[in-house]
Structure 1
Amino acid sequence: MVFWVFGYGSLVWNPGFEYDEKVVGFIKDYKRIFDLGKSCIDHRGTPENPARTCTLERNEGAVCEGDTTQPAITGVMAFTSTPDKETNKYYLGPAPLEDMARQIATACGPCGNNRDYVFMLEKAMHDIGHEDDMVIELANEVRKVLGIFVMIPLGKKLVRPSYMPLKPNIQLRQLHSLQEAVAMDS
């Protein structure tokens, strides 16, 4: 049985499980947001100083990663979060960019700093040929909060070395919208 998982956060650079094949793709009608995480209190943050991690949010017409060519893989599983603070205790909700950056710059948990999560996602996205303006903008704001003045302009390529090189045999494919298979956390 083939089981595909769409990674849009830490799974991009650290899947945490064995896999047979890794492909680069996209999902239509979803966007990446930093409004969540169980990991906000037990991985890269604490209950007293929660971190912010990615989730997918339904957004008609949005594309999370990639281009607009025809899908090559369908039936992919992806984690999304219930965007409701009442039913999902891990949902942090939206916040101004500056507030998110301050929270990310200072949060730390057993798996490391929240800022590393953002910086590694930014770099991993670059390494696979995708630049997400929101991730770059957030990473730049975190750098500003930390007093790191090496800003990466939107639309510019990163020039620092990769955290984790991709396997040379990774094929580029596109992933189809998740209308029939979405796992929700509530």
Structure 2
Amino acid sequence: MVLWLFAYGSLVWNPGFDFDEKIIGFIKDYRRVFDLACIDHRGTPKNPARTCTLEAQQGTVCWGAAYCVKGGIEKEKAALQYLERRECEYDKKTLVDFYKQEGAALEPAVTGVLVFTSTPDKATNRYYLGPAPVQEMARQIATASGPCGNNREYLFSMEKAMFDIGHEDDYVIELAKEVRKVLLSGLQGRRPAMPNLPLPFMQLGPLPEAALVDSR
């Protein structure tokens, strides 16, 4: 038995299970969105975090990592049991084709790759938050926190993970910028105002020879 799993969220930088191979690549006709609630890791029921899920969209690609688990049914079973617990907010499992290079006539590198997704319906999936204006999402991500850390750390880790694999996500970058604006405005709001006093004029002499540093 061989299990292949596509990772597009925190599993990209923190898989947490025993695997035998990792390949960087993408799946087609899906895009990464922050439309899923997390109420037990990086958020709470009263203040849920926003985490990644996939939205079907024709013509798009979603970059991430494919993990291979091989070595017997017990190893595969252990990986799946771990993933079921960790990905409990996702109510669907889908099999997709996985690609390693971009191109119109490209054949998939692996077929039948498992990916955890969520039903985009608030009536049937209690964890589905749906889309929102980017400023509203940024305020939610900037303030949500749970037992495993805060929501902004999750987003910034996602941003870094995509940079590290060489396939930055414009949507993630835009959202991260908005979260930083929220955090900065919060800091400025708490910072006491400094009096507008003139700075004294200081005449600087030449540095002593021992203080010169070669910056090459």
TM range (shorter): 0.7 to 0.9
Question: Which residue does 2:86 correspond to in 1?
Answer: none
Distance 1:115 1:73 in 2: 33
| Superposition deviation, residue 74 in structure 1 | 1.2
Aligned-CA RMSD value: 1.2
Question: Which residue does 1:27 correspond to in 2?
Answer: 27
| Superposition deviation, residue 116 in structure 1 | 0.4
Question: Which residue does 1:2 correspond to in 2?
Answer: 2
Map 1:106-145; keep pairs closer than 5 Å: 106-145=143-182
Residue in structure 2 matching 1:97, options 134, 140, 143: 134
| Superposition deviation, residue 57 in structure 1 | 1.0
Distance 2:173 2:157 in 1: 11
Aligned length, in residue pairs: 146
Return the TM-score normalized by structure 2. Answer: 0.66
SS in structure 2 at match of 1:75 = strand
Change (3 A) 1:41 1:3: same
| Superposition deviation, residue 73 in structure 1 | 1.2
SS in structure 1 at match of 2:7 = coil
- Residue type at the aligned position of 1:138: L
Residue in structure 2 matching 1:68, options 99, 102, 105: 102
Change (3 A) 1:134 1:67: farther
SS in structure 2 at match of 1:25 = strand
- Cα deviation, 1:40-80, whole Å, max 9, x if unaligned, reads 10010000111000001111111112752322111100011
Does 1 or 2 have the higher relative contact order (CA < 8 Å, sep 6+)? 1
More strand by share: 2
Return the TM-score normalized by structure 1. Answer: 0.76
Distance 1:67 1:132 in 2: 16
More helix by share: 2
Q: Which has the larger radius of gyration?
A: 2
Map 1:42-53; keep pairs closer than 5 Å: 42-53=40-51
Q: Does 1:86 align with 2:123?
A: yes
Spell out structure 1 runs of 4+ moving beyond 4 A: none
| Superposition deviation, residue 16 in structure 1 | 1.5
SS in structure 2 at match of 1:86 = coil
Distance 1:75 1:25 in 2: 14
Q: Does 1:13 align with 2:13?
A: yes
SS in structure 1 at match of 2:44 = coil
SS in structure 1 at match of 2:30 = strand
Q: Does 1:36 align with 2:36?
A: yes
Q: Alignment identity in percent?
A: 73
Question: Which residue does 1:173 correspond to in 2?
Answer: none
SS in structure 1 at match of 2:139 = helix
Unaligned runs of 5+ in 1: 149-186
SS in structure 2 at match of 1:77 = strand
